[in-house]
Amino acid sequence: MMFRFDFFSSLNKVLTSTRTFIRVLIILPALAESQAPPEIQLANSYHPEIKLEDYWLSEKLDGVRAYWNGEKLISKQGLVYQAPAWFTENFPDFALDGELWIARNHFDVLSGIVRKRQPVDAEWRQVTYQIFDLPKHSGVFNVRLGFLRDYFKASEGPLWLKLIEQTKVTDHQTLMTLLDEAVAQGAEGLMLHLGSSYYHNKRNNDLLKVKRYFDAEAKVIGHISGKGKYRTMLGSVLVEALNKAQKGKRFKLGSGFSDERRKHPPPVGSVITYKYFGLTNKGLPRFASFMRVREGF
């Protein structure tokens, strides 16, 4: 009996070591494609107390944030997007901050394309890289925008490398009208960028997102089966809020999912972005609905 116990104990150790070795072989290539997260500027939410005439206005694209370091496209988490060589071949050798984008309401399609370890040329032909800033430039945004405009005017770079249009607006009512028009056409919202601001790796009022709703992130901690026509699919996810104001609060999120997403729900442990319209008296998000799985891999 002792021999049998030792035999199976030894066999289990061998199998465990083998499985560990295989996991390492699988993980190492992915680790080789990661690096320190880039230092990028983050946005606060718009409030009417600011001096609008000091800001530049652009559309908030529903794309994937991508940092060009002069050699590679990198996600906010520091993972490398495996773009085809031809896609970045004629990009500049200086840093760019922007969004990989296809069109309004195409985030899921875009996300599926850029997450692949083996890029598909035909899919990447749909993608553009929309630029909104120069992370390593020492000037204020007015100067950085002028540099970008001059560069794009003189450059014969690829057609899929584009500069996001920046315009001016002077009053709150006009801004809200423009927001409603953009949203009606499928846009996610608008962005405001302070002309006198320097590029920095923090979140403040130099960069503002303008929406009719709030958004936040939460971690998926469970799946709940659906009922009726969704009885074989996802009904809702149980999530735990990650943003500072609601951190740790748990709630169910059941709206905003397409039928395809209900068949293939966000994995437990993944981080999702949801939108909501204020808070209940218990501090939970009101009318919360799923938007997307967080950028990255």
CB 216 within 8 A of CB 274: yes
Q: 134: closest CA among 113, 163, 172?
A: 163
Count of CB atoms situated within 10 Å of the CB of 2: 6
**Could you say which of 13, 51, 60, 275 is catalytic?**
60
Residue 249 corresponds to which tokens in the numbers above? 């609060």
CB 144 within 8 A of CB 137: yes
Q: Token match 């999912």: residue?
A: 257
Does the active-site annotation cover 60?
Answer: yes
Q: 275: closest CA among 203, 166, 174, 183?
A: 183
Task: For residue 44, list its beta bridge partners.
Answer: 208
Q: Token match 């993608």: residue?
A: 127
Distance between CA 64 and CA 76 in Å, rounded? 9
For residue 54, give the DSSP letter. Answer: G
Distance between CA 259 and CA 290 in Å, rounded? 13
Distance between CA 204 and CA 201 in Å, rounded? 10
CB 128 within 8 A of CB 115: no
Count of CB atoms situated within 10 Å of the CB of 5: 9
Q: Is 17 exposed, middle or buried (0-12, 13-18, 19+ CB in 10 A)?
A: exposed
What are the catalytic residues?
60
